[in-house]
A and B are shown apart, each in its own frame.
Chain A
Amino acid sequence: MTISSSFDNEKPEHNPEPVTIDTFSLLEEVSSPQLVQTGFNPALSRIPTPQTVSVPLDLQVDCVPQWKPRRIPLKCIGLTLPDGMEFVPEQQPKLETSDGVQLKKISPPSPKAAGDSGEQKQKPTRIRPPADALSLQDRLFYLLQPPLESWLAGQELIMPFEPFSYQYEGIAWLFSSQAALLADEMGLGKTMQTITAVRLLLRSGQVRRILLVCPKPLIPNWQREFRTWAEELPVVTVEGNGSRRRMLWQMPGVPILIANYELVTRDLSEMPEDDQPRFDLVVLDEAQRIKNRDSNTAKVARAISRRRSWALTGTPIENRPEELGALFEFMEVVPPRGCPDMRQLSRLADRYILRRTKDLVMKDMPPRIDRDADLPLTDAQTAAYRIAEKEGVIQLNELGDSISVQHVFELVLRLKQICNYDPLTGESAKLERLAADMEEIAASGGKAILFSQWTKTIDWLEPRLKQFNPLVYHGGVPVKKREPILQKFKEDPDAHILLMSYGTGAVGLNLQFAGYVFLFDRWWNPAIEDQAINRAHRIGVRNPVIVTRFISTSTIEERIDRVLREKRELFEAVLGDGDGDGNRSLSLNASEIFGLFDLKARSQDGSRSIGPKCEEQDAA
């Protein structure tokens, strides 16, 4: 039997031969449910029978993959900054006159930038970590300090005057220096920068105990500068007899000690090693004192136990390598007895020396800087002054109503002369200070003019300033010799100081090459002083002029200075920064001269004041 499909017409091309199948087997297969009849009609009658498969349902729905937000453990690196010293800033003492009038502080002239109408926003001075600070914590300590301008802006530290921008840089540089040589030219404020950096180090807990070593004549200056720039810091001067000094060296809780070179050398060389004091910072002022490394002073200075070493000097010493080597040895940046060659010195100088000169920082500085040198009298001067004042006042009182301005004037002049120098012993605090300053100026190749109202004082000074080749120019010098003197002062590099009186000085006198002016004693009229100063300082002068006024403290000079300041302030308050006209009113009048002394005359009821009862004409 042949099975055929419904497509019989098709020729079985691929089945050339029919397939023979057993019929009975076929029928069995047909009736078997597994066999499907082909063809359209059977297909129509075939009812699909879907089959089902039972699938169990999961009651739990798994989320794959599982994820929960979790807190990532973070590690932290911390730095706790040390507690600095906290000082309660003292109330600013108000200067009072004897009649209770309060005076204001006088600010230095503010720099006026040419063509600048608005405020210039100063770039803040950030403290940078020193190059040798390798640990992260050390570097972070410096980076996290606030800018100096905000630090010093009175938020925590009261600054009497705003530093110049180059001074901010100097302060920041000192703050981050273990070893430093600040070699700014004289008059640029090395003292102020040092004191402010010390203040910041104390505040930030970097140092606790500091020793400042300086020449003896400069101790009063440092004391005064600390009172001006860091009034909250306790400062102790090492002085007195041996037992007192030993006690002072060992006294705990004193942040700042000041001592002179001689005392340091003597006391520390005699002290047993176990008793030697330790300091976090040692500062040497006029550090050229240790330029000879084999001197006792240098040896003792190097032996002081310290963590930071700073040196201050205005003397350029680049041309004397041995001296630089001595300073670097103190600063512990060269080994003991080390002799660096010129190239090494140059590299060390780049890193450890900061020197600015007036011409470099001129744009930051005003053309003229006035500074007062308040100097206490020497012992001999003090004794002479007290005697003269007491006797003089007694004599004036005895004159009663017959007293005149001239009488008072004479006493004032006599006292002022003692302030210059003691006639008996020749001691002079002003001369000591002048010599110290001139040493620095002469070493820098600078020139200075000194003014005094007495030719006698000038003649007295001349031999005592011999090492600076002084030239004298006053009314006693013949006219023919005056011009050659000025010429020599200008051209001779060794002529460092010109001694002049206020009275001399003609129109046209031009001494612009002098960078320093000293007012040895004050004139009655500030305008005359200005005129004298302007011989060195003219508009368009290349370099700033530093004017130093010597004032003997607790003397008539201080009282005169106070009165003149009040008058100047009143003048400026009423008329502004005026010109020189009409300055006669700035000089002392009769009532003011009388007011310098509390003069009393005896009366029936006891005593009464002596003096003019109303404003008089100018006496000068």
Chain B
Amino acid sequence: MSESGQDNQLRLGFLETIEIDGRGRIGGLLVTNHSGRPLEFQCTTPVRPNRTQEILFGESLKPWLLGELIGGTLLNRVSIKPGVVITSDPSLLELRNHTAIPVALAEDEGGADAHQTDSATFSTDTEPNSDDRPVRVGNSLLRFHSGHQADAQSLKSRQHLIPDSADLKEPLERVREALAETVRTVFSR
């Protein structure tokens, strides 16, 4: 298993969760190569917080459940570590506080203000991206955790491996389909 830190290769992780009626949530993490070809997939069993947790965690329940618990478990379990984890759920950004791997939110084009978007390539200076602007990687906009804005810069050296036409939201759709299939096959029994 190769590490993800080499400059000549980049593993991407795509993290998603779905709700199962009455049984809680399950999460899935798909690790691909820089072109989107799948390498490994992990998904969790359903988890549902009890009433006490719901009350006492309050608003921090979702980030804890999705980010720390589900995301953290998957990231620890997967054998091929990704160089960056991409998700479409803002609650999953919490994962970044429990791992050293950059975590980014894939945004829609319309969701980000155009004038706040970085240009197609990273700037040549070495200063980290100091504000919360989304960054264009491939054909998608990625927004990193507000407390770890240096993540954008850390991806810079390997960003060229991702094709300009790469749609980084597409693998998330695959994860959702795989989770739905898993629910149908395993958890419906």
A residues contacting B by CB (< 8 A) are 67, 69, 71-72, 74-81, 84, 124, 136, 139-140, 143-147, 150-151, 153-156, 203-204
CB–CB A84/B69 < 8 A: no
Residues from chain A with a CB closer than 8 A to the CB of B37 are: 84, 145-146, 151, 156, 203-204
Q: Give A67 to B69 CA distance when docked, in angstroms.
A: 18
| Contacting residues, chain A, for B40 (C-beta < 8 A) | 78-81
The reply on B166 being an interface residue by CB < 8 A is: yes
- Determine if A67 and B45 form an interchain contact, defined as CB atoms under 8 angstroms apart: no
Cβ contact within 8 Å between B38 and A74: no
Min CB gap A530→B, angstroms? 35
Whole-angstrom CA separation of A275 from B78 in the bound complex: 41
Residues of chain B lying within 8 A (CB to CB) of residue A144? 30, 38, 41, 174, 178
Q: How far is the CA of A80 from the CA of B78 in the complex (A)?
A: 9
Whether the pair A145, B38 counts as a contact (CB closer than 8 A) is yes
A69, A76, A143, A150, most chain B CB atoms within 10 A: A76
Question: Is B118 close to A, CB under 8 A?
Answer: no
For A146, the closest partner residue in chain B by CB is B36
B53 to chain A, nearest CB (A): 7
Please give the distance in Å from B38's CB to the nearest CB on chain A: 4
Residue of B whose beta carbon sits closest to that of A145: B38
Question: Does A74 contact B73, Cβ atoms closer than 8 Å?
Answer: yes
Instruction: Tell me the complex Cα distance, A428–B41, Å.
Output: 55
Q: Measured between C-beta atoms, what is the minimum distance from A350 to chain B in Å?
A: 23
| A76 CB contacts on chain B under 8 angstroms | 42-45, 73-74, 77
Closest to B73 in A: A74
Interface residues of B (CB under 8 A from A): 30, 32, 35-45, 47, 52-53, 56-57, 64, 69-70, 73-74, 77-80, 163, 165-167, 170-171, 174, 177-178, 181-182, 185-186
Neighbouring A residues of B44 by C-beta, 8 Å? 74-77
Q: Per a CB cutoff under 8 Å, which of A74, A80, A81 touches B45?
A: A74
Complex contacts, B52 vs chain A, CB 8 Å: 67
Q: A144-B30, A146-B170, A146-B174 are in contact. Are A156 and B182 (CB under 8 A)?
A: no
Additional pairs, 5, CB under 8 Å, beyond known A67-B56, A77-B45, A146-B32: A71-B69, A140-B181, A146-B36, A151-B37, A156-B37
Which of chain A's residues have a CB closer than 8 A to the CB of B64? 69
B41 and A155 contact, CB distance less than 8 A: no
Task: Report if A77-B43 is in contact (Cβ < 8 Å); known contacts: A143-B177, A155-B163.
Answer: yes
Closest-by-CB residue of B relative to A203 is: B37
**Nearest 8 CB-CB pairs, A to B?**
A155-B35, A144-B38, A146-B36, A75-B45, A79-B41, A74-B73, A156-B35, A78-B42
Closest B residue by C-beta to A83 = B39
Residues of chain A within 8 A (CB-CB) of B69 are 71-72, 74
* Closest residue on chain B to residue A155 by CB atoms: B35
Q: Given the complex of chains A and B, what is the CA–CA distance between A74 and B44 in angstroms?
A: 6
Question: In the bound complex, do residue A140 and residue B36 qualify as a contact, i.e. CB atoms below 8 Å apart?
Answer: no
A144 to B40: give the CA distance in the assembly, Å. 9
Given A72-B69, A77-B186, A136-B186, decide whether A143 and B174 contact each other with a Cβ distance below 8 A: yes
The closest CB in chain A to the CB of B171 belongs to: A146
A136-B182, A146-B174 are known contacts. Are A77 and B42 too (CB-CB below 8 A)?
Answer: yes
Name the residue on B nearest A79 (C-beta). Answer: B41
- Determine the distance from Cα of A20 to Cα of B79 in the docked complex, in whole angstroms: 101
CB distance from A151 to the nearest CB of B (A): 7
What are 28 A-B interface contacts by the 8 Å CB criterion? Answer: A71-B69, A75-B44, A75-B45, A76-B74, A77-B42, A78-B43, A78-B77, A79-B40, A79-B42, A80-B40, A84-B37, A136-B186, A140-B41, A140-B182, A143-B177, A144-B38, A144-B41, A145-B38, A146-B32, A146-B35, A146-B36, A146-B170, A146-B171, A147-B170, A150-B35, A150-B165, A154-B163, A203-B37
In the complex, A585→B78 CA distance in Å?
A: 65
A258 to B22, CA, bound (A): 56
Give Cα A84 to B181, complex, Å.
24
- Given contacts A74-B69, A156-B35, whether A139 and B77 have CB atoms under 8 Å apart is no
CB pair B41–A81 under 8 Å, yes or no, is: yes
Q: Report the Cα distance A144→B14, complex, angstroms.
A: 11
Residue of A with least CB distance to B177: A143
| A74 and B171 contact, CB distance less than 8 A | no
Asked whether A139 and B42 contact (CB < 8 A) given A144-B178, A146-B36, A204-B37, the answer is no
Residues of chain A lying within 8 A (CB to CB) of residue B170: 124, 146-147, 150
Report the separation of the CA atoms of residues A52 and B78 in the bound assembly, to the nearest whole angstrom: 68
Q: How far is the CB of A152 from chain B (nearest CB, A)?
A: 11
Query: Taking the nearest CB of chain A, how far is it from the CB of B74, in angstroms?
Result: 7
Instruction: State the CA gap A76–B43 with chains docked (Å).
Output: 5
Contacts of B166 on A, CB cut-off 8 Å? 150, 155
Contact of B165 among A151, A153, A204 (CB under 8 A): A153
Residues from chain A with a CB closer than 8 A to the CB of B73 are: 74, 76
Taking a contact as CB atoms under 8 Å apart, the answer to whether A78 and B174 are in contact is: no
Point out which of A75, A153, A155 has the most chain B C-beta atoms below 10 A from its C-beta: A155
Partner among A67, A75, A80 whose Cβ is within 8 Å of the Cβ of B39: A80
Minimum CB distance partner of A156 in chain B: B35
**CB nearest neighbor in B for A139:** B181
Q: Would you give the shortest CB distance from B140 to chain A, in whole angstroms? A: 13
- CA distance in complex: A474, B32 (Å): 61
The smallest C-beta distance from A139 to any residue of chain B, in angstroms, reads: 6
Contacts of B79 in A (CB 8 A): 80
Chain B residue numbers with a CB within 8 Å of A155 are 35-36, 163, 165-166
Instruction: Give the docked Cα–Cα distance between A162 and B171 (Å).
Output: 22
CA distance A150 to B182 in the complex (A): 25
Q: Which chain B residue shows the least CB distance to A144?
A: B38
Contact yes or no, A81 B35, CB < 8 A: no
- Residues of chain B within 8 A of A140, CB atoms compared: 41, 178, 181-182
Chain A residues with CB under 8 Å of B181's CB are 136, 139-140, 143
When A143-B178, A144-B178, A146-B171 are in contact, do A74 and B70 touch as well, CB less than 8 Å?
Answer: yes
Measured in the bound complex, the distance between the Cα atoms of B182 and A143 in whole Å is: 11
